[in-house]
């Protein structure tokens, strides 16, 4: 089970954060697939593997390990994020060999289209920095496809520093956690 501790259950405007459990897996997978379809319809191939039935980040296993968080309003799934305390094989390929011991890896941040457009994605991203304790961790790392300029701008606005690109076409971002809170 995860060593993470939720320190802030309220995210914004009656949205609540909680640890996902096995019963949430189907709903979470559905949200991620719908998000992948939405991305595809806008010309992006980000998360396209989900549309082919490939789950490169093992949602069910990550839920069972306590690494997936859900965000709900009136008990309806509004968003999800995966936070890995150890790098996946994917992360090691992208980031190389440095800095893993002190890093959290953020994956699969998604907001239901029903709740989109009101800043919930930014609230969830802020929550990952301030609403959870990560013993021994100093930074959050994430990646995204290189051709999504809107997403790159979003991460930069949220204080994430661009750390470069890998050969396969992914941009890497990182943010130091503020330990003074």
pLDDT of residue 2: 64
Residues of the chain with pLDDT under 70: 1-2, 179-181
Structure tokens that stand for 179 in this block: 């330990």
pLDDT of residue 148: 85
pLDDT of residue 181: 45
Fold designation for 5-176: Aminopeptidase (3.40.630)
SS (H, E, C) the chain: CCCCEECCCEEECCEEEEECCHHHHHHHHHHHHHHHHHHHHCCCCCCHHHHCCCCCCCHHHHHHCCCEEEEEECCEEEEEEEEECCCCHHHHHHHCCCCCCCEEEEEEEEECHHHCCCCHHHHHHHHHHHCEECCCCCEEEEEEECCCHHHHHHHHHCCCEEEEECCCCEEEEEEECCCCC
| Residue spans per domain, the chain | 5-176
| pLDDT, tens only, 88-110 | 999 999 999 999 999 999 999 99
pTM, two decimal places: 0.93
| pLDDT, tens only, 67-76 | 999 999 999 9
């Amino acid at each position: 089970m995860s060593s993470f501790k939720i320190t802030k259950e309220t995210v914004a405007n009656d949205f609540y954060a909680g640890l996902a459990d096995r019963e949430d897996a189907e709903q979470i997978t559905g949200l991620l697939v719908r998000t992948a379809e939405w991305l595809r319809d806008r010309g992006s191939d980000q998360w396209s593997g989900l549309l082919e039935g490939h789950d490169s980040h093992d949602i069910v296993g990550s839920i069972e390990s306590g690494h997936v968080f859900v965000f709900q309003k009136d008990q309806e799934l509004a968003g999800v994020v995966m936070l890995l305390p150890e790098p996946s094989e994917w992360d090691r390929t992208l980031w190389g060999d440095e800095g893993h011991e002190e890093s959290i890896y953020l994956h699969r941040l998604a907001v239901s289209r029903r709740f989109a457009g009101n800043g919930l994605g930014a609230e969830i991203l802020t929550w990952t920095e301030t609403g959870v304790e990560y013993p021994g961790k100093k930074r959050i790392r994430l990646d995204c496809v290189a051709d999504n300029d809107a997403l790159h701008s979003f991460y930069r606005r949220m204080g994430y520093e661009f750390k470069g690109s890998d050969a396969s076409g992914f941009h890497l971002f990182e943010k130091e956690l503020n330990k003074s809170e």
